Structure 1
Amino acid sequence: MTERLVDVGRGVTLCYRRSGGGEVPLVLIAGLGQQLHEWPDGLCELLAGRGYDVVRFDNRDVGRSTHFRFRPPGAVDFLRKRWHAEQYDLGELAADTVGLLDVLGLKSAHLAGMSMGGMIAQTVAARYPDRVASLTSIMSTTGAARVGRPALSTWRLMFARPARTRAEHIAGAVRMYRHISSRGYPFDENAVRTAAAVAWDRDPRPAAGVGRQLAGILKSGDRTRELAAIVAPTLVLHGDRDLMVNPTGATVTARAITGARSQTLPGMGHDLPAGVWPALTDLIDSHIRTARSTDAPHA
């Protein structure tokens, strides 16, 4: 699982890992502020064991991928929706993903995205239908007002003072994940600490990039009408204990995409605990196999 850096166009370099070596490409797209390793190795191994060529990567502004240098929005800017002239949106993050497919020589791939990664995957499916064999949108939403929003308690944690040291970053990650974690599964603090340490070591002081990514989500607004253009077979997955993206986000996502299937995972919050990996693997694998067996477009 060697990390590689590739130019995906428009001045953006992405860092990715590829594992499994199967014949069916499955691209995993991470969420807000998340790096590629936050798709856990154990989950990726289960997916690779089903015969998938598993690709995960750092989106722009996190990890080892290209970081932009313009100042992220402040609290007042977010409230007024006042963006820097260079501020990107989900469409540009989607174009990065397609650029990665180009570099990897993949005419199409099955996409699975979590949280912001689900939004990116949705946008790829809507704007580049020939490139998406199937779509799995996990704990995500459409950008529609008053649905799929974080709890007020989550917003307070999101806008806490940025970490200045590795230790502060790890402590902040534990606070956040203890809050948004899956209540139906044991909280693995050691796993959270390890992931947070790796994240800091790969990308110290990540707050600015996370702020720009969050602005990219909000700048994109309500994408409901755009999602109506999606033709890829779509599976919408969400936990019933999610304090980051309210489960109403799954409802509106499934409603916006013609033919989408939706399933709730009891006890799951806004994380991927080890206990949910087998069910998640089964659901993604079954969805992809169904898409391929029905000769869906581009499968």
Structure 2
Amino acid sequence: MSTDRFCELPGQRKLCYRSHGAEDAPAVLLIVGLGLQLTYWPQPLIAGLVEQGLRVITLDNRDSGRSFFTEVTPPTVMQQFLRKRTPGYDLGDMANDVIGLMNGLKLETAHVVGMSMGGMIAQTLAARYPERIRTLTSIFSTTGSLRVGQPALNAILQLLRRPARNQQESVRDYLDIMGLIGSTLEWNEQALRDYAQQAWERGGGEASNLGTARQIGAIINSGDRTQELQLIRCSTLVIHGDKDRMVATNGGFATAAAIRRSSLVLLPGMGHDFPSCLSGTLLSLLAGHMR
């Protein structure tokens, strides 16, 4: 198990990351989604990639986990619901954080894998820094177009609930949302509880609520990125589940359509999570793509 490390970005901002495997091996950056922390990535997937001869680097995005928190005023619930742009940062700024980490670790190039919002950040990296990205894998993500990839109504209502005020409420809310958007293939309540309990403590408690709202603002501020995705030239794999109620499956189809010569893999029964029964499948897809 790797330990938390910190990379100093410009402006005295620290990005938290963990490194797995030999430091001279080809690097893979794993970028998590909205409100999630680097501890979300399944350990069997990380270990499997390391066994393939890769260096795996996971990170907390800004405004989550142990990375730096901004002072941006987060969008209100109504602004989020109406998709209203607000002053603050966007996905490009979050992509720049990743480039800052690569520079700090002296990584000239890396394979990049992103899930959900992390997929949007990874897409932005591949479009804006083509010389730094070897391959792109976008998992249950979308283009930013309001015509595709939209969450189910019950998922939206769940996200708009009053933010958790303590660890117990945070665990409850996490179980509730995962019950709506998770895969139909399995339900591991203890694993979900363990992650949520650890995340509350590691992510600063109630501060994480503001951080997640700021990240939602970054997605909204970035708008429809379909045109920018057409700039991507690296080998691209798009993975999506056919039971995703957080990012509708047509978001995956739209992503693949926007990126030239990309490959789309649709996984039956997969929702907006990584069920352990699909760990082998995901590992095989990622390792094969990066080869």
| Partner residue in 2 for 1:56 | 58
Note if contact 1:29-1:117 (Cα within 8 Å) is conserved in structure 2. yes
Where 2:131 maps in the other structure, the secondary structure is helix
| Partner residue in 2 for 1:296 | none
**C-alpha deviations, 1:41-68, integer Å up to 9, x for none?**
2221121111110000000000000111
1:199 alignment partner AA: A
Report the RMSD for the aligned CA atoms in angstroms: 1.2
Q: 2:80 aligns with which of 78, 95, 103?
A: 78
Determine whether 1:182 maps to 2:160.
Answer: no
Structure 2 CA distance, aligned partners of 1:125 and 1:9?
A: 22
Q: 2:215 aligns with which of 213, 216, 233?
A: 213
| Partner residue in 2 for 1:42 | 44
1:264 alignment partner AA: L
**C-alpha deviations, 1:253-289, integer Å up to 9, x for none?**
0010110000101110000111111000000000010
Determine whether 1:201 maps to 2:191.
Answer: no
How far the C-alpha of 1:12 sits from its partner, in A, is 2.9
Task: Give me the identity figure in percent.
Answer: 43
1:69 alignment partner AA: E
Structure 2 length-normalised TM: 0.96
How far the C-alpha of 1:174 sits from its partner, in A, is 0.6
Which ranges of structure 1 fall in alignment gaps of 5 or more residues? 290-299
| Partner residue in 1 for 2:132 | 131
Note if contact 2:80-2:216 (Cα within 8 Å) is conserved in structure 1. no
Structure 2 CA distance, aligned partners of 1:157 and 1:78?
A: 13
Structure 2 CA distance, aligned partners of 1:248 and 1:96?
A: 29
| Partner residue in 2 for 1:150 | 151
2:186 alignment partner AA: P
Structure 2 CA distance, aligned partners of 1:268 and 1:27?
A: 22
Note if contact 1:2-1:17 (Cα within 8 Å) is conserved in structure 2. yes
How far the C-alpha of 1:71 sits from its partner, in A, is 2.6
Q: 1:80 to 1:271 in 2, by over 3 A?
A: closer
Structure 1 CA distance, aligned partners of 2:290 and 2:81?
A: 40
How far the C-alpha of 1:211 sits from its partner, in A, is 0.3
**C-alpha deviations, 1:1-31, integer Å up to 9, x for none?**
0111111224432100011226121100000
Note if contact 1:9-1:96 (Cα within 8 Å) is conserved in structure 2. no
| Partner residue in 1 for 2:234 | 232
Determine whether 1:223 maps to 2:217.
Answer: no
Greater than 4 Å deviation, 4+ residue runs = 79-84
Structure 2 CA distance, aligned partners of 1:5 and 1:163?
A: 28
In the TM superposition, what are the counterparts of 1:1-299 in structure 2 within 5 Å?
1-21=2-22, 23-85=25-87, 87-183=88-184, 185-203=185-203, 204-205=205-206, 206-289=208-291
How far the C-alpha of 1:76 sits from its partner, in A, is 2.5
Structure 1 length-normalised TM: 0.93
How far the C-alpha of 1:77 sits from its partner, in A, is 2.2
1:209 alignment partner AA: G
Q: 1:93 to 1:45 in 2, by over 3 A?
A: same
Structure 1 CA distance, aligned partners of 2:224 and 2:72?
A: 25
1:188 alignment partner AA: N
Where 2:80 maps in the other structure, the secondary structure is helix
2:96 alignment partner AA: A
Note if contact 1:140-1:148 (Cα within 8 Å) is conserved in structure 2. yes
Note if contact 1:12-1:96 (Cα within 8 Å) is conserved in structure 2. no
2:254 alignment partner AA: V
